[in-house]
Amino acid sequence: MADNKQELKIELTPEVAHGHYSNLAVIAHSANEFFADFIAVAPNMPQAKVLSRIIMTPENAKNLLFALRDNIAKYEQTYGEIQRKTPKGGAKGGNDIPNPFMA
């Protein structure tokens, strides 16, 4: 069987390469897509804007999950375990930045 893999050339423009800092991600889904909104929340600010929205298929969302899991494991092997921080006052703490990943 022939190998049909082709090289994919990816262009990264200077504007996109600059990136956006995000300290909050809100993730939702429909039957056909996953939506990830990336937000930068500042302390004592009552409002924050979505900086970027990524929409992907369920299959690609699962591929992203596995890629993140693999990269986090490699990071922790090199730099040590990443410690998760609990917001002051618990999960419902006042003006703290919400953590959508906490149950």
Q: Give the pLDDT confidence of 56-83 residue by residue, as tens digits.
A: 999 999 999 999 999 999 999 999 999 9
Give kind and range of the element (H or E) at residue 53: strand 50-56
pLDDT at 21 over 70: yes
Residue-averaged pLDDT of the chain: 87
Query: Which whole number is the average pLDDT over 1-6?
Result: 72
Sign of the C-alpha dihedral computed for residues 66, 67, 69 and 74 taken in this order: positive
Query: Which whole number is the average pLDDT over 79-102?
Result: 64
Model pTM score: 0.73
Main-chain phi, psi angles of 76, to 5 degrees: -65, -30
